[in-house]
Chains A and B, each alone.
Chain A
């Protein structure tokens, strides 16, 4: 290395330790934290009866139902997500494209109680759509039970899947797109040569992600499920912890959940990882796809419009119910407005650090995966998935048991809330950053090595331009998820200082329906603002033109 003009030793953070050390620390702490949380529960409890799992009719029913609804939800979400992503990649100039993308980002972070209220407004017994359907067809639609659970899961997860798949599809290298375009490939062949290879890389990861999300679903199942016959493991864990104080059973069920999700995750991710080394580059959209015209175009647009409506109608329902309340609060001012303002500041004080923490951890852990060899790569993918599988309440309670004697003041509780919120967002953030960060192709990487682009410079000139947009989106996800959190904040509650979701629940608990509807709308507005704010810099393309050019030169050199 010494012979290069500006060698490795001169670039800040270029020592290999910087690429592995911090990530190893984070991944290690994550696993330790999880194990410690569960162990703390077991340590406080009597040893649980393992045989209960198959002897208790209710528990075995719970496990079966959890697996069944999660499988169904995953298949439908992925199918819809893929169809939408393909339509979006074919129609880069679809007028509502940006709006649709923003809404797609939002749906995952929408707090469940708000979303369910919107879904019910559309698909419920007296919902807009239900009345229309029942008027024109003989179909009797019932939202409650498996129907509602799967519908809500698709509503939440199809946009997520679509968003990640779109990112994968858009990252197909330009030379390949150009060749496909020149050859006039269409239909099946285009899918085989262009789309499928791009999708194949991320599909196992998304499938694992969506499955885990649906598997651990809680509030949706509780509200739309209809009763004990459709209960998930997460609910059973919650119940053992909060009402039975049966730490042993909670820990046992958490381990079952961890085992099932973990197995799926390993199965899916093992294949995904090895395929992740192929090049990824996002160039301008100037290369027209042969299959984006004519009847396909018409079909795509109809499809995208329907999907937009599917996502927008529940939000519209929230808007219609919430607007009168919110207007009253803003116009009248006084205490309700002060409360809302304070809660908003408090929410951001927790959510912004949580978002930053999740993004930073994801970057470090992903660097670990790409630089540290196969074992460390596996460690990193397991570590980032773990927060998904372990119920926040288990982690929270476990940590509480461990930390309590030294947990002095409630402000420490707030830091802990931010920390756990950040951890909860880690799996999503990782999925978003994984492609762009690890997708640097080998030739470019080698070239950069030869040029001595290491450490900070490498980050600045190779990664930063391609990571800017994903980073902004990841930050929005991390912040948004924490903004809507109710579970963790409730556990480490602070004296009469509610965040916006807590305020919402307080208002509900006190029959302030109009205020609550207003607060729900405000929460959605905040989420929209967060996404808008973080995506704005990513769309000011012109400023970074010279960086793009630098990249282009680097890449074109390889193909010359």
Chain B
């Protein structure tokens, strides 16, 4: 039995070992939903390789947090030329590592809800955090964060842990942006309505929300676009809140230790073209970072468009995150 397994392994492992790197390879650290077959990754790779006479290779890490952690672990010996998949919650920590280099490209074509001038980070998509609800279970969703916080206990929601998940951190910042110093007591009021706090967005969305466990889950304002365009159903919608919604911008950056800086800059430039951006709306299920005009799928017109955009300066987030997390923890412990 044993010998047979080993032979089998040798046969299976050879193709894996054979993938050697060429000199003209651009290595991009990213997360699974970007690089997956149905994500924007493959389309972007094809489009960029047609232009650059190079090979674009993705190194797929578990999440934005992992990209940053891997970068820190590897330091100057990293293989990465570009990191793609950090966001406004994690980018400042990444800046402080000193492992990133200036992109020195023009950001004029950006079309974001906020002003963006940053010498390190190039945004590639954006969206708002929002509560997605099941219209069949919850015909009348709360109209404001305040209404949700004070909702009767029957209204159960699923959120994600801000320590391990990007949307989870997003809600923490959202509450902070709306309530400031009173966030702790509001969290306490909300805690009756929290059915469960999951590790990651996928755990909550797949295992629980799609199973009908709760009528409402913390997600993105853009999530319904996927259900409407691909699943062809209007059943899942995002609730628009009066106080406004917290903005998430996903960013890419150039790695200081890269030996392919010119190529990497070409790629960052490429991010801001339609050839890259047209893969974003339905494959990353986010808003594109530039104006795509008619190419933006129609379902995006049917998404909520908050009047009030909430956003906390990433530097403040990096500085306060630990104390805000502690505030949340203390509010959630009985």
Q: A interface vs B, CB < 8 Å? A: 57-58, 61, 113, 116-117, 120-121, 124-126, 144, 219, 222-229, 235, 238-239, 241-245, 335-336, 339, 345-346, 348-349, 352-353, 355-356, 359-360, 397, 400-401, 404-405, 409-411, 414, 471-472, 475, 490-491, 493-498, 502, 505-513, 516, 534, 537
Q: Does B243 reach chain A (CB closer than 8 Å)?
A: no
Interface of A is mostly: helix
Residues of B192-219 contacting chain A, CB below 8 A: 194-199, 201-208, 210-214
How distant is B144 from chain A, measured CB to nearest CB, in Å?
23
User: Given A243-B65, A245-B69, A126–B329 Cβ distance below 8 Å?
Assistant: no
Selecting from B3-11, B120-128, B173-181, B297-305, the interface stretch reads B3-11
Q: Which of B12, B32, B208, B334 has the most CB of A within 10 A?
A: B32
Contact B32 A498 (CB under 8 A): yes
Distance of A506 Cα from B227 Cα, bound (Å): 17
Contact B202 A505 (CB under 8 A): yes
User: Given A126-B213, A349-B13, A508-B205, A356–B2 Cβ distance below 8 Å?
Assistant: yes
User: Given A228-B332, A490-B61, A498-B60, A144–B196 Cβ distance below 8 Å?
Assistant: yes
**Chain B residues with CB under 8 A of A339:** 37
Partner of B163, one of A239, A346, A360: A239
**Chain B residues with CB under 8 A of A229:** 332-334
Contact B164 A510 (CB under 8 A): no
**Chain A residues with CB under 8 A of B262:** none
Could you pull out 24 A-B pairs where Cβ atoms are within 8 angstroms? A113-B206, A117-B207, A125-B212, A126-B211, A219-B199, A227-B191, A227-B196, A228-B197, A228-B328, A242-B66, A245-B72, A359-B2, A360-B2, A409-B21, A411-B17, A490-B61, A490-B66, A493-B66, A494-B16, A495-B58, A496-B35, A496-B58, A505-B202, A509-B202
Contact B16 A509 (CB under 8 A): no
Contact B194 A502 (CB under 8 A): no
Contact B194 A226 (CB under 8 A): yes
How distant is B6 from chain A, measured CB to nearest CB, in Å?
7
Partner of B213, one of A120, A397, A494, A512: A120
Contact B62 A121 (CB under 8 A): no
**Chain A residues with CB under 8 A of B207:** 113, 116-117, 120, 223
Distance of A512 Cα from B1 Cα, bound (Å): 37
Distance of A516 Cα from B37 Cα, bound (Å): 13
Partner of B37, one of A120, A335, A493: A335
**Chain B residues with CB under 8 A of A360:** 2
Q: Does B116 reach chain A (CB closer than 8 Å)?
A: no
How distant is B255 from chain A, measured CB to nearest CB, in Å?
15
Distance of A405 Cα from B78 Cα, bound (Å): 9
Partner of A144, one of B195, B322, B334: B195
Q: Does B77 reach chain A (CB closer than 8 Å)?
A: yes
Q: Does B285 reach chain A (CB closer than 8 Å)?
A: yes
How distant is B127 from chain A, measured CB to nearest CB, in Å?
13
**Chain B residues with CB under 8 A of A121:** 211
Q: Does B41 reach chain A (CB closer than 8 Å)?
A: yes
User: Given A126-B212, A502-B32, A495–B59 Cβ distance below 8 Å?
Assistant: yes
Distance of A30 Cα from B324 Cα, bound (Å): 39
Contact A497 B16 (CB under 8 A): yes
Q: Does B223 reach chain A (CB closer than 8 Å)?
A: yes
Interface of B is mostly: helix
Distance of A219 Cα from B13 Cα, bound (Å): 30
Q: Does B36 reach chain A (CB closer than 8 Å)?
A: yes
Distance of A335 Cα from B212 Cα, bound (Å): 30
Q: Which of A353, A360, A414 has the most CB of B within 10 A?
A: A353
Distance of A531 Cα from B1 Cα, bound (Å): 14
User: Given A227-B196, A348-B12, A507–B36 Cβ distance below 8 Å?
Assistant: yes
Partner of B322, one of A120, A244, A410: A244
Residue of A nearest to B62 (CB): A490
Distance of A414 Cα from B73 Cα, bound (Å): 18
Distance of A225 Cα from B204 Cα, bound (Å): 12
Q: Which of B19, B37, B164, B208 has the most CB of A within 10 A?
A: B37
Distance of A76 Cα from B216 Cα, bound (Å): 33
Distance of A359 Cα from B1 Cα, bound (Å): 12
Contact A509 B33 (CB under 8 A): yes
Q: Mark B318-330, 1 if CB is under 8 A from A, else 0.
A: 0000100010111
Distance of A333 Cα from B66 Cα, bound (Å): 33
Partner of B8, one of A57, A348, A404, A513: A348
